[in-house]
Amino acid sequence: MELGLVGLGKMGGNMRERIRRAGHTVVGYDRNPDVADVDSLKALVDTLAAPRVVWVMVPAGAATASTIDELADLLSPGDVVVDGGNSRWTDDIAHGKKLGEKGIGFVDCGVSGGVWGLQNGYALMCGGAEADVAKVQPVFDALKPEGDFGFVHAGKIGAGHFAKMVHNGIEYAMMQAFAEGWELLEASDEVTDVREVFRSWQEGTVIKSWLLDLAVRALDDDEHLDKLKGYAQDSGEGRWTVEAAIDLAVPLPAITASLFARFASRQDDSPSMKMVAALRNQFGGHAVESK
């Protein structure tokens, strides 16, 4: 089939390649003319035969919103827009409504895979009407990994990004689990070769997982991670997961602890611990460490 693809960065570029390898036609547009197949969104739309499928793969937020706005003006009833970026699921509702008013379908699609996706395939979680999803299915089939898994139509518009958001929340806590275990092993005098312990866990254990494999790779590069700072960004989905949980009154202690550990990792000094130190000083004459 024919696909319009907007956004040809690292992720979008690799996805174009994987879709083409599956025998489909991809017309790509990007603000960077060096990687684009056409020189405007309009040219992209004009190149495609109706009914069109246009996949948006640009940064979440303003860039995605303005791209969808433009497409709402350019596309025709019966066309379908896919948002494959890291949009918040609540944005999908608004985007779907705007496009729906013009008779254009909308499918939101959470995409997992990172730098490994081109080779191994991308896990896809999508939301939208059955008929709209069906129009995109050949592209989903091209992008997903071999085998029975890696694609799900999770529900109505927003469900794809919601599912991807929760995936990332789980990922936060799994990473934190390995991180805490590793820190404890490194701190102990008992275990003399922590890396080999991690390596051994890759088979026969309850915790065998791709993240564990990656941890072993990282330790093979740098046994005690001496080259890294204990500084971790968060990318939005972790925050949204906790916010969704708060809205639904769902307790999420491990995922939230993982998010807060990242927040704390980015502080040069902890304001709250200054207050604790100040209080200890006030009531107890406890020694505090002054600057």
Report the catalytic residues.
164, 171
Q: How far apart are CA 104 and CA 274, in angstroms?
A: 55
Taken in order 191, 194, 200, 202, the sign of the CA dihedral is positive
Question: Near a copy of itself by CB under 8 A, which window of 17-25, 52-60, 76-84, 242-250?
Answer: 242-250
Question: Between 33 and 291, whose beta carbon lies closer to a copy of itself?
Answer: 291
Q: How far is the CB of 218 from a copy of itself (least distance, A)?
A: 4
Q: How far apart are CA 280 and CA 286, in angstroms?
A: 6
Which 182-201 residues touch a copy of itself, going by CB under 8 A? Answer: 182-188, 190-193, 196-197, 199-201
When asked if residue 180 is in the footprint of a copy of itself (CB under 8 A), the reply is yes
When asked if residue 118 is in the footprint of a copy of itself (CB under 8 A), the reply is no
When asked if residue 204 is in the footprint of a copy of itself (CB under 8 A), the reply is yes
Which 147-166 residues touch a copy of itself, going by CB under 8 A? Answer: 147-156, 158-159, 162-163, 166
Kindly tell me which residue out of 3, 121, 128, 142 binds a copy of itself, with binding defined by CB under 8 A: 121
Cα 285 to chain centroid, rounded: 48
Q: How far is the CB of 151 from a copy of itself (least distance, A)?
A: 6
- Per the CB < 8 A criterion, the answer to whether 79 and 100 are in contact is no
Cα 282 to chain centroid, rounded: 46
When asked if residue 178 is in the footprint of a copy of itself (CB under 8 A), the reply is yes
Q: How many CA atoms lie within 13 A of 246 on its CB side?
A: 7
Which 247-286 residues touch a copy of itself, going by CB under 8 A? Answer: 248-267, 269-286
Which 37-76 residues touch a copy of itself, going by CB under 8 A? Answer: none
Site size toward a copy of itself (CB under 8 A) is 142
Best CA proximity match to 162, nearest among 126, 123, 134, 130? 126
Q: How far apart are CA 73 and CA 177, in angstroms?
A: 47
Which amino acid makes up residue 172?
A: Y
Q: Do you know the residue count of the chain?
A: 291
Q: How far is the CB of 144 from a copy of itself (least distance, A)?
A: 7
